[in-house]
Amino acid sequence: MKIDIITIFPKIFDSYFSESLIRKAVEKGIVGINIHDLRKWTENKRRTVDDKPFGGGFGMVMKIEPIFKAVKDLKRKESKVILFTPRGKKYDQKTATKFSKLDHLIMICGRYEGVDERVAKKIADIELSIGDYVLMGGEIPAMVVAESVLRLVPGVLGKQKMIKERTTKSKGFIECAQYTRPEVFEMGKEKWMVPKVLLSGDHKKIEEWRKKHCKIIAG
Ligand code: SAM
How many residues are there in the chain?
A: 219
How far away, in angstroms, is 114 Cα from ligand 1 center?
Answer: 6
Q: Is 135 annotated as a binding residue?
A: yes
User: Which residue owns the Cα nearest ligand 1 atom 13?
Assistant: 110
132 is in an annotated binding site: yes
pLDDT at 20: 85
**219 CB near ligand 1 (under 6 Å):** no
pLDDT confidence of residue 172: 79
Determine the pLDDT at residue 165.
52
Task: Return the ligand 1 atom nearest residue 128 CA.
Answer: 25
Which ligand 1 atom sits nearest the alpha carbon of residue 137?
12
| Predicted confidence pLDDT, tens digits, the chain (219 residues) | 999 999 999 999 999 999 889 999 999 999 999 999 999 999 989 999 999 999 999 999 999 999 999 999 999 999 999 999 999 999 999 999 999 999 999 999 999 999 999 999 999 999 999 999 999 999 999 999 999 999 999 999 976 655 655 665 567 788 899 999 999 999 999 999 999 999 999 999 999 999 899 988 887
Which amino acid, residue 98?
Answer: K
Nearest to 115 by CA among 150, 147, 141: 141
With beta carbons less than 8 A apart as the criterion, state whether 110 and 124 touch: no
Q: Which atom of ligand 1 is nearest to the CA of 91?
A: 24
pLDDT value at residue 196: 97
- Which three-class secondary structure state does DSSP give residue 63? coil
What pLDDT does 125 receive? 98
Ligand 1 pocket check for 130: Cβ under 6 Å: yes
User: Ligand 1 within 6 A of 63 CB?
Assistant: no
Going from the N-terminus, what domains does the chain have, and what CATH number goes with each? 2-150 (3.40.1280.10), 166-218 (1.10.1270)
Output the CA 142–ligand 1 centroid distance in Å.
11
Helices (H), 91-183: 93-100, 117-118, 139-150, 160-165
Residue 110 annotated as binding site: yes
Answer for the pair 82, 125: CB distance below 8 angstroms, yes or no: yes
- Are 94 and 136 in contact by the 8 Å Cβ rule? The answer is no
Is 202 annotated in some ligand binding site?
no
**CA gap 215, 47 in Å, rounded:** 48
